[in-house]
Amino acid sequence: MAYRVIDKETYYRKDVFRRFSEDCKCSLSMTARIDVTELAAWSKATGTKFYLNFLYLLSRVMNSREDYRMDYFYRTGELVVYDVIHPTHYAFHPETETCTPVYSTYAADYDAFYEGAAADLQRAKADPVYLPEATQLPNRFDASYIPWLSYDALHLELPDGYLYFAPIVNWGAYREEGGRLMMPVTVRMNHAVADGYLVARVFRLLEQEMQSFLQEHAQQEGGGV
């Protein structure tokens, strides 16, 4: 768990951080639909799981900016940025209608990430026990899939006095709209380390990562470089 301590006096969001970590503690969340038509088609054609493919791309986005890898150490009052953050996702158990956290490790290599996350998911499905390992693994973000609904809005509340900086991302079922598959995604971040631009940027980065990912694999499959 490598990290770097940020000098709060030279932090580029210094004044905003002070405002929303001291005077007006709050968070913000945003829901928007993104086009996943090509990713869904590629997943089907390759026999891979759309869920894990999207989780990989989301993990790439969450690791692409320091703003998304922030944390606050209460004991020392330090603002830090992790070198890498890993996804905590969930296995649903239909028989009990409960979920088990799945603690996967982010790897930039797609095959390594996919194989590892798929194995993690299978183990969690076989053992429906809620183990809060995230308390010992702080450099994580929350990634929760809601497959039962293609929703229009979602809001998650945390205590305003708690400076919880890890991103929380939810996504629902995609649905056809005008011949395209559109999927709702919700991003929640603490206002001390993110504003509307940084939250909205997650959606744009997801679109860019999907396009780049599909282009890379099209070249590989076509024998290009």
- pLDDT of residue 224 exceeding 50: no
* Number of domains observed in the structure of the chain: 1
Average pLDDT over residues 39-48: 97
Nearest to 68 by CA among 50, 45, 84, 44: 84
Q: What is the pLDDT of residues 119-130, one digit of tens each?
A: 999 999 887 776
Q: What is the pLDDT of residues 87-126, one digit of tens each?
A: 999 999 999 899 999 999 999 999 999 999 999 999 998 8
Burial 49-84 (b: 16+ CB within 10 A, else e): ebbbbbbbbbbbbbbeeebbbbbbeeeeeebbbbeb
Q: What is the pLDDT of residues 7-43, one digit of tens each?
A: 999 999 999 999 999 999 999 999 999 999 999 999 9
103: containing domain: 3-222
Q: What is the pTM of this model?
A: 0.94
Percent of the chain clearing pLDDT 70 (strictly above): 94
Q: What is the pLDDT of residues 161-208, one digit of tens each?
A: 689 999 999 999 999 999 999 999 999 999 999 999 999 999 999 999
For residue 54, what is the domain's CATH number?
A: 3.30.559.10
Give Dmax over CA atoms of the chain in angstroms: 57
- The answer to whether 188 touches 168, Cβ cutoff 8 Å, is yes
Strand partners, 144: 170
